[in-house]
Structure 1
């Protein structure tokens, strides 16, 4: 009989980064494939924006972002320019997928077991607290004028991070990949909470209460497995519009809609369990999010012009220093340090397949804070003035983190590749790797 359960704990010692079950491993592989392509498209959109913004035609790029396609939507607060539509509208799709991910993790994934959930939760909290403290420290020393951007370096861009990991880490342990994905999911939840609480301006209670109605109707339909697109999409649009009018960032509506979708399958069909609706919708919407929504947002958000800029002044700007140090140093220290403390003061130990240098590489990789960091930067400082420096800082910090992670993980990947070639772990005819069928595997 096939053993699809994770490696058991021995003698009361809890292992960190153990392999997940085989179904979880297959789900992770599917996510990696989608996010890898999405990360490449995101990078492509950012590069085009940077080249265009710094070309002789940079003015056309700026004008495109400021163009308002529907000037008559002021009554509904929808007289938005293209850049804002990308940040508030398209990213709602991204956050809808995040909501589906979050609910799946808490109901049927790694976070359903408190003992397994404690590691990514503690690591995510540490990985957000340390960058924020570094940013605050740098800006307090400079007078405190940029403190509003304290949350910018706290986010991890899962699409970019997984894309880099997929390119350089084909032989890295599966438990390490699962940890990065779960950590990023918790990171997204905390980032959403920060946006909703600390970056809400001109709050209006009545539209917020009104948004509950379409969200509740959406939830009622999906709970009864009524996936009528002609009903669900208009309800989602109304919920988004009311959330936007309330002053709360409109992407929060996407998360709440994702939370309403049931994760567990219904009655078995033909003796086989039916796939859960959350998994079905995630399969449908993740390619749209990773392949369209996020790259378009990156195109409008990453186009910082450095033509005529005083690079020396930019490099010494406390906002820039706080973001770069927060992403590169803070993320690494927070994740690696919190994991070490968890292992030091509890009975938890690293799985025997994983070394601390592996965790160092993943902690550096978490310093890629592109999408959500740019979003928080725009909410904190806008897109002009200091907003341009924020974009440059996020791009610089993310690039440095990616390069350092590549150096560390490439070396570790070569070591694991040598082990894999030596052991020659093959697939059986049942399609389940032998490692999941060995006693204790």
Structure 2
């Protein structure tokens, strides 16, 4: 059965006055319209009926992956194949006949339809790869791996292959003919895909060395980045800073430049507190009887004062120290006693991590006085709670200094200078 000949004969029967090639021309037009209408109907059927039924079925299932197929429009893109298949298999109806022009027309339609189907197939695979990235992000074992970087490499190869196949179909040549031409374009391709190639190499190194994972807190002052990694792709790493701005960093910079990753702090279970309080050198002195009597009321110093008094007394007795001068022998100082108090006070705090480095030390004296530095790790790692705990500690430390006869050091302010000026005028 030949639809074209049957249509011509039918038209000549209905319209006997059609002379010459009029019936053939009209038959070609009618068949072309029928093919286009059929393609439109198939496209409408695929999108408005089959897709809706499929979407309703997917939403009723308990699994998650098929929802992602709908969300990333995999089925919607796949539906574009329906009209292309109709046109591909109806090329003989669009250009009927055995002459060279009809054969050329059929070949052209077939090549365009095949090229279109190749592009649609690439779009479907692209959407499916997006589904895989989404699933990897939700997976506990893969969420911290740079899966998106590897998928982007696959996408680059996919679209290069798609372009080669589409051009091969459109031009009626073998795909291998285009591969030979790619050799001459190697330098241009390397230049165009320079960032992608560097990003691929960097992604492999980042994954192999476990340098960065999504969710890590990193600092990279060169790029103004200080926050959580929210995306790790082939060419860029996105960091959401604490002020909610987003900084984009070239992926290869994480390998070529230095940065700080706070993941070790998060995994250790402690966050470091390192801060010093500066003491006025003029307030440092030996502990006299009045101060000693006051310090004995401090519960955290009972054991220390008793042990230290026995140790110093025994040492002075053994070495025949003359107690008439404070410079002879060993004596308690208010600064040393304060340091011992800080040790006991910090050890009594439940948020101080006892299994990590703990140190209270004296810094070298300088223009700002002498510093007492605390160095330890807090069990509290959350930013706001960590800062509140640190502030509470130093509120207490600064407030307790007068109990030891110590004064904190600070630079003179305008009020200090005015008070000094008034005192000088009063003395004059």
Q: What TM-score, normalized to structure 1? A: 0.21
**Structure with greater helix percent:** 1
**Structure with greater strand percent:** 2
Flag the structure with larger Rg: 2
